Each structure stands twice: as structure tokens, then as C-alpha cells.
Structure 1
Amino acid sequence: MKNVCIFAHRGSKGTHPENTLSAFEEALRSGADGIELDVHLTKDGELAVIHDETIDRTTTLSGYVKDYTAEELKMADAGVKFSPSFKNEKIPLLKEVFQWASGTSLIINVELKNDKFPYAGLEEKVIELIRGYSYEKRVILSSFNHESISIAQKIAPEIESALLFEGLPVNFEEVLKTKQGAGFHPALAALTKEITAKAQTLGCKVRPYTANLESDIIYLLELGVEGLFTDFPARAIRLASKFQEGKN
């Protein structure tokens, strides 16, 4: 029985403000194998950890990430909208998360958020930072922009990459074949036993997103996926442990 890798989606997003250091700390405390986070480029070329292209939904400021400098983004409160108890949480920079993670063994899935805005040089900047921290074996680069993954694979073939899919194209197997070695990160709703088997036959690690309900987590465990993304890592870890005990 293989162990499934539990990734805390945007940190422990279900219990803490997403993509903040407190959410990543909670993921670590819960025993998650890894964290998933999103990166955008700021006006001054820094790598900001935030999901949306805009800062409106999760912070007290508004506008596009790309129109703010890193210093200006630090003026936004990224915690209070989730709960007053998280007031004064900041939007972290990727280098700050990497520095924090240096005392851990967490795998870090960095999603390149260039599917809406084509941030020039995003891949190079992220890879340069990964190499600076010697995290080549600890990071997975993923994106819905599959051309971005091609660029990343060319620059840094030693860093694991993965293709994100919202819906699956009919020719998804051909797409996977063209990105040799990339992981397969589909939406939970699109995944079946047959699709899982096809991807695994191609040598792809299957890691669906986002499994929060107990029934969904158990479904994925029964499919034999290599990993899964969840907003509630403590829940997924408990269920995975229980599932494994039942199989042994």
C-alpha cells in the first residue's frame, strides 16, 4: 500500500487565511506532506504569493497584483477578511515562504499563475529562487498554462513539473505525452478510475484538486492516486491513515 502525499491547498485554507504564513504553519502543524501556493509578479518584479490576479477578494486593498510593488502589497491586510483573529496577516513573498520552509521537509507545489496574464520571465525568476535555496528536489512547478510548463522544463529539467487541468480535453493523453515526465493535476470532478489508470500508465503522478469532503478524500484514496490537494489537511491525513490501516 503506497502512501498518498497530502498537500495543503493554499496552506490550510479551510481553517486559516489562504496563502499566508499562518496557513502554511498550520499545514506543517497538521502533518501535511506539502503545501500548495500561487505566485504572481509584482510591479517591481517580485514574486507575490496570492491566488487571484487581483487582491480584492482576500485583502483590504483592491486592484491587480501586477500594479503594486512588493512594498505596497505589504500594506494590505490578508487575514482580517477571513477572521478578525487573523488581522494583520500579510501577503508573503515566495522568498519569505522559502526561508520559512528551510526548517521543514515540506514539498512545495508552486503554481505559476500566468494563465490570465503572461508574466514575462516568471518561470526564470521562480527557478532562480528555487536554485538559490537548493530546493530543486523539494518543489513541483504547476500551471494551467501548459506552455509555461514547457518553458520551465527546458530551463530546469531537474525540477518536477505538473499540468493543471480544469476540464479534461478529449486528447488529454496526447497532451501528457508531449510534456514527458510532468505530473497530472486534474480537477477532482473530472477524475475517474479509467482516467487515473491511463495517466499512471504514461508514468504520470496523479494528484487531483481539491478534495475536502470525507467522501471525496476516500474516493481518491480508493483510486490509488499519488497525491491530493485539500483545504483541510488534518482531515485528509486522518482519513488516509485510517484507510491505510484498513488495507494493511
Structure 2
Amino acid sequence: MTLIFAHRGAAGTHPENTMVAFREAERVGADGIELDVQLTKDGEIVVIHDETVDRTTDGSGWVHDMTYRDLRKLNAAAKWGGRYGHCPIPHLEEVLAWLEPTKLFINIELKNNRIPYEMLEQKTIALVRRYGLEKRTIFSSFNHNSMRFCRTVAPEIETALLYMEPLHDPWTYVKVMKADGLHPYYRTVTATFVANAQRRGLAVRPFTINKPEAMKTMFAYGVDAIFTDHPRRAKEWKEKTP
């Protein structure tokens, strides 16, 4: 059964990586949420995709140059014409505290492929453990060294490798990295690849799939999950796929 992960929450209809987007994902029946984490200047784990706040908020500047208090003043819904009022950038703990009593899975993408945030892995692992979410959490990153480190520090939490281009001999690579899953750009995914991965016990969760035809193709391939900005739409198309 293919699970539906709401990419940055229900980012197609709500401000990405905000509590309103995550709550909407649960409301429409997503199986899980996906979000991105970075560290503030004072070492707090915040949920935001870009390394700067310019695109998604009414502020400007680098996340790692701003304190948590400064970041919380920004409106992550500012580009939505007032439709969602003031949505602060969430702290990861805020999300986990909300998610814990639900049945949702969570994919935490560590955004440390460009900025090597010191202690991001350890702090994120500690929070996941604090809320007892080890078995409902997947760590992913384009920084595969980070994923290998997470596997060493927290072997009980699933890790997955994000990538854009097809990997040469992915099975040997994944074995060396000791990862549990592959999160490829969806255009690189074939039915044969999915079958080969699953035969080896590896989960395949392509990103980011918003078009109905691509969704239907991934459902037909039997991928383990998809990441989509439109979880409600994905659920409807999943029900229509034979």
C-alpha cells in the first residue's frame, strides 16, 4: 500500500512548513507529513525549507544568522494575502508535540547539505526520542554523510537517501550507507527499480508528485510512499487507481 506524505504539510493549499499546513494534512487523511529542519543562531531547531527566510516569510536574511525569538516574529503566511493570518515558523518540538497523539508518520529532512549545522542531527534525534516517535520517524537528507551519522547515533530510526539523478549501482551504495530507504526524484523511478529495491527490503518514496498522471504511475508501480503538496488530491487519485 502506497502511503501519502504531505510535502511541507499541505503546501499546495496552505503556507508550507506551518502548523496550519500540517493540521490540514491530517484533516484530509494523509498518512504522514514531511518537513525540513535547520538551526537558528542560538541553536534551536526550526521548521523551514530554504536557508534564508526571504521566499516564505515577510523577513529577509539567513536562518543561521537569526535567533529563534527573531524568527518567531516573522509571518510564514505573509505571501498568502492574509488568508491564514500570522503563522510563525514552528519549532520542531511544537510539531512533534502536536503529532505525538495522532497516527501520522513524519519525515524529517535535515537541511544540512549546504550549511553544515553543528549538532543538528543530535538535537533532532533527542527530540524524536523525547516524544517516543522513533518508529514513526524517517530521517532524510541530500547530505548522505549526515544520514550515515544518524544511523550510527540512532540505529532505531529509519534513514533514507534523497537524490536527484539516478544512482550507479544503488544497491551497493545503500548497503554501505546502511540506509533503509531511497527518496529519488520521481522522474528517475521505474517499475523495475521499485521491484528491485523492495526485493532488497528498501523503501522507495519518490518526490514531489503533484500531477495526477504521475501519481497514478507511482501508485501502479507500488512505491512505498509519495511526497506531494496536495495530499487530498493524492488520496482521491489513489482510490481511483486499480
TM-based fold match above 0.5: yes
Shift of 1:103: 2.7
Identical counterparts, % of pairs: 48
Amino acid at match of 2:230: F
Aligned residue for 1:235? 233
Shift of 1:189: 1.1
Q: Distance in 1 between matches of 2:230 and 2:140?
A: 21
RMSD: 1.1
Q: Distance in 2 between matches of 1:94 and 1:29?
A: 20
Aligned 8 A contact 1:177 1:202 in 2 = no
Q: Distance in 1 between matches of 2:216 and 2:105?
A: 22
Amino acid at match of 2:178: Q
Amino acid at match of 1:161: T
Q: How does 1:145-224 map to 2 (within 5 A)?
A: 145-224=143-222
Alignment partner of 1:81: what SS? helix
Q: Distance in 2 between matches of 1:164 and 1:138?
A: 18
Aligned residue for 1:7? 5
Q: Distance in 1 between matches of 2:200 and 2:116?
A: 29
Q: Which moved more, 1:187-196 or 1:174-183?
A: 174-183
Aligned 8 A contact 1:78 1:88 in 2 = yes
Shift of 1:181: 4.3
Aligned 8 A contact 1:181 1:203 in 2 = no
Runs of 4+ residues deviating >3 angstroms: none
Aligned residue for 2:40? 42
Q: Distance in 1 between matches of 2:229 and 2:81?
A: 16
Segments of 5+ residues of structure 2 without an aligned counterpart are: none
Q: Distance in 2 between matches of 1:198 and 1:149?
A: 22
Count of residue pairs brought into register by the alignment? 242
Aligned 8 A contact 2:184 2:205 in 1 = yes
Aligned residue for 1:73? 71
Q: Distance in 2 between matches of 1:99 and 1:196?
A: 34
1:158-194 Cα shifts (integer Å, max 9, x gaps): 0111111111232323221212342110001111122
Aligned residue for 1:60? 58
Shift of 1:121: 0.9
